Structure 1
Amino acid sequence: MDYKNDSCWKDVQKHLPLDNRLTSNTAPLEKFMTIGNINLHIDHYTVEKPLARIVLFHGVGGNGRLLSFIAFPLMKNGFEIICPDLPLYGCTKYSGSITYDMWVDCGVQVVNQFHRDTVPIFLFGLSAGGMLAYQVATRCSDISGIIATCILDQRNKHIRKMTARSPFIAVIGNALLSATHRIIGSLKIPMKLVANMRAIANNNDLAELLMRDKKSSGASVPLSFIHSMLNPIIDVEPECFTQCPFLLVHPENDRWTDIRLSKLFFDRLACNKELHILEGAGHFPVEAKGLKQLEEFCTEFICKHIQ
């Protein structure tokens, strides 16, 4: 399965500024990478003699193809971009059970697969992909920098309450999952019943489009995945993280993950770090001014740290 006959990502393009739109003629190369019981789909944006290589991680409401809104302009700035579809999302196929810990393992293996030469490599996570990028960086060597639109430590009960569909689900749900995930962990439920998916985009039509898409915001995930995502294994606490610089590019009008939630983790980071606000942008930042700023902030950060 690939994206050639998928309609959702093509419909999303209509909500993007012209400079950020992907067409069938400019679509990335599609390839697959086998990782255990997972056949991982990857969108690969190639350039000749790239200045840097960026592995781009989606969150629980997206997939690799939906990240074209920033992957495509970054490619035009001279960067090679790798966008994996993490298992349960996009065109990736798998067998057996899937947990969030397997997302981290997949991220590490993708980085190791593509980091085989002297081209500097950066990790960029959007939404839940922000913490994923951080976790992957702690398990990989020679990462030149991390970029995130938010970074949420789901071990924090306040963050669970603020990002769940309702505080009740956050409090009661995790307690129930802790007691039952080993028994009924394979049971799948729509992620939009757990997370505040309606706030993924400030454009209501776009949010509805994404929530209908079974490859992104409309995906169903096993209870074991939700439990492991709410109880992540953080190998290096932020106070001890000095491996590489960190850029937080947070949307100004994010109705799902307020910047104060990201700052609970970001402010603790011991590494060189920067914070920039994307003016007028929502959680899925399709707004023209914020998107242009995102491209510029990322490009400046990467060029500053490619040495």
Structure 2
Amino acid sequence: MKYYSELSYWRRYNAFLPEDLQYREDNLPCEEYWKWKDFDIHLDRMKNPSSPVKVIVIHGAGANGRVIGLYGNFLYNQGYEYVAPDLIGYGLTKNPKKININYSLWVDSLSDFLDAELIKDNRPIVLLGLSVGGMLAYQVAAKNKNVKAIIVTTLADPRSQKVRDDLAANLLLSRIGLPLSNFFRLFSDSIKLPIKWVCKMDKITNEVSFSKIFSNDKLAGGSKIKLRFLRTYLNFIPAIEPENFTAAPVLFLQPEKDLWTTFQTSKPFLREIKLSQKSSFSGKLWPCSL
């Protein structure tokens, strides 16, 4: 198994982060692997036995668990324990059988991981979803009644054409290329494309040089994705639609200067969730989208 402690690329992110959110050599996450079915899922964990809750930090399409640790570091500095998994296909998580995965494995693996964590110490679990990880957090909460609350920076429902347009690298891809994959899936599902070809990796942050760090990271935005995963992501149906969702309170945090997924991207889905179950405000989260 590989560990981030053996690698150096992730250290390049530090230069762009506020000092209090940077990784320090004397306070790095503990690394471990969690066996789930045919996969070995890498975890970054910052332990705090006195934390009243445990936060699972969920990355988006251009990152991994180590990259989004800056949010975990913020939580840890406030006294909370966090764990950040590398979702299947990203980071150091292993897929030894080279399974051509579909998106539902992300939802199922996180749901099962949540249950495994509850068995350990039964502390309430909060999901923090960033970028497309926001919708993933919702989908897990819709599936698993043990989620205490979810915090999200986006709620981009990829079944919507507008959301597809917002997320995709260009309109040709979102309106022609991706829809065609549904009809030619027997042939197209195994095609692998660089992530930066299919989504707006240049807008993952608002600094060109910082975005390039993501796009060149082979364990994050510089990796490749198969069309089967992308196709099943776009068509995934949550266990509970938003108008019927009462499973957990939702805190929606829209980064004010996010140029990739604006509030308009999330608004149609967010407005369907009962008002008593959400709080939303505009703020400055930096970097804007992970």
Q: Does the alignment pair 1:243 with 2:244?
A: no
Aligned-residue offset at 1:280: 7.1
Q: Does the alignment pair 1:61 with 2:62?
A: yes
Aligned match of 1:302: none
Aligned match of 1:224: 228
Aligned match of 1:42: 43
Query: Over residues 134-190 of structure 1, what are the superposed CA-to-partner deviations in whole Å (9 max), with x where a residue is unaligned?
Result: 011111123211000111000001110122111111011222210122333122110
Looking at structure 1, the residues matched to 81 and 257 of structure 2 have their Cα atoms a distance apart, in angstroms, of: 29
Aligned match of 2:16: 15
Aligned match of 1:102: 105
Among 265, 277, 284, the residue aligned to 1:272:
277
Q: Secondary structure at the match of 2:238?
A: coil
Among 190, 202, 208, the residue aligned to 1:186:
190
8 Å CA contact 2:143–2:240 kept in 1: the answer is no
Q: Secondary structure at the match of 1:4?
A: helix
Aligned match of 2:84: 83
1:119-158 equivalence runs, <5 A: 119-158=123-162
8 Å CA contact 2:260–2:289 kept in 1: the answer is no
Aligned-residue offset at 1:281: 4.3
Looking at structure 1, the residues matched to 7 and 169 of structure 2 have their Cα atoms a distance apart, in angstroms, of: 28
Q: Secondary structure at the match of 1:232?
A: coil
Aligned match of 2:52: 51
Aligned length: 285
8 Å CA contact 1:189–1:222 kept in 2: the answer is yes
Normalising by structure 1, report the TM-score.
Answer: 0.89
Looking at structure 2, the residues matched to 195 and 225 of structure 1 have their Cα atoms a distance apart, in angstroms, of: 14
8 Å CA contact 1:252–1:281 kept in 2: the answer is no
Looking at structure 2, the residues matched to 79 and 146 of structure 1 have their Cα atoms a distance apart, in angstroms, of: 15
One-letter amino acid of the counterpart of residue 9, structure 2? C
8 Å CA contact 2:191–2:226 kept in 1: the answer is yes
8 Å CA contact 1:255–1:282 kept in 2: the answer is no
Q: Secondary structure at the match of 2:68?
A: helix
One-letter amino acid of the counterpart of residue 277, structure 1? S
Q: Secondary structure at the match of 1:93?
A: coil
Query: Over residues 34-87 of structure 1, what are the superposed CA-to-partner deviations in whole Å (9 max), with x where a residue is unaligned?
Result: 111111001111012211101111011000001111101201222111100001
Aligned-residue offset at 1:278: 1.9
Aligned-residue offset at 1:282: 4.9
Structure 1 unaligned blocks of 5 or more: 286-307
Looking at structure 2, the residues matched to 45 and 22 of structure 1 have their Cα atoms a distance apart, in angstroms, of: 12
Report runs of 4+ in structure 1 exceeding 4 Å deviation.
Answer: none
One-letter amino acid of the counterpart of residue 18, structure 1? E
Looking at structure 2, the residues matched to 185 and 279 of structure 1 have their Cα atoms a distance apart, in angstroms, of: 38
One-letter amino acid of the counterpart of residue 209, structure 1? I
Among 157, 164, 167, the residue aligned to 1:160:
164
Normalising by structure 2, report the TM-score.
Answer: 0.95
Q: 1:113 to 1:77 in 2, by over 3 A?
A: same
